[in-house]
Structure 1
């Protein structure tokens, strides 16, 4: 089989390797195996290509904010929300998606968080993987991927990295830490802070900032993430029969929400009484 890819790290990979605080019970390493080791298999590729309603809502919300600021005059027009909705082709989508996205657009129109900000980056959300940042440590190097939603200038020259959310999921501070580490490489002369904002409920997180010493710790943590994943891929490529040993399952009620439950032999969906 081909050699595993070069080592890399990202918030997504970090979350697949280690659960967020309080989520240990529902965390399953086998999901990482499907997503990161077997993603090219036709059945798994097809499952990964499916977009859930929640994912679609999140993407459309991000696009909506992007379009409002590409066409800023719409924020002043009485039909601004309808203009963005037409651009997003909401009328072609399921009722739940239409309804929730329209509410998000209306909420943003009523209180446009980025209005008047000096925006230096605002993505649509569908640009794909960003160019990786090569991080070289004394005895290890890896590529860091950090797809940021928005960066604007706060008072002075401080960069504010803002990540948009929808739905009910909690904010994971680790995502902000990855963004702050990336910013230290991309904008080395500027201080940076990060925060989250839920477009659906209008909830803001606290501002997150870290010292240079803390950035070093984050970098080391991500190096460990990259190293562990590369080692696991190596083991899998050497012997694919060891898949459940390398990426152990954790069956339970949460299997009902896993996109791979239809093909996972360990899924509790297939076990009577669980």
Structure 2
């Protein structure tokens, strides 16, 4: 990728106070999740005497219906939620880029077949597929990552296909074909480097989508099982105590909202910096 594009990103970020705040907040949330083990509280320790305690200096986010420290559970839950978001994005990107490049570069019946398969999958409500798969698969982190990855690659594939169809008509690619370079070599040297910008932008937005999907599944009880915590499962556990202990839903809900918002803001900044023409639309 050209260095000037990253200069554009830095310039766009520097002039965007909201973007700077989003990056700082994401770093704080990520570091807090990574170093959750430094917390003095055990996220799974039950204490019947401390049930539904409001936020205090001993329990910053209060305690849940089992007397567990909500702050500690939010830290460890953030680790799982962020891990699901990032890994789902990576797997979805690999699948989407592979399908998109093959479809866009070769065209013809291969393109037609892959796009019809993609259209069929996209015509089915994704949340319905999520629920069906979660019922038949063992509810754990790896299965949730796999399910979300299989549902997110289509959007990346479409973007990559369109960009590949443009790149393969560039003069340097046509020259590479005429000079007898192998198909794999052309894709590796000329097509993939030209896709980095659009892939980065799509991947950033997909992290936010993956976190929302995981939170929705956990909220409905189809995600990671107890005693493991995610922000979505904490919201699920708070349903019966909204009136009595609203803080149980407030803090994990706020973390989900802020994390998704920050990734969306960062995605917009990357889109404008890496693809200025798209940013002006």
For normalisation by structure 2, the TM-score amounts to 0.28
Tell me which structure has the larger Cα radius of gyration. 2
Higher relative helix content? 2
For normalisation by structure 1, the TM-score amounts to 0.29
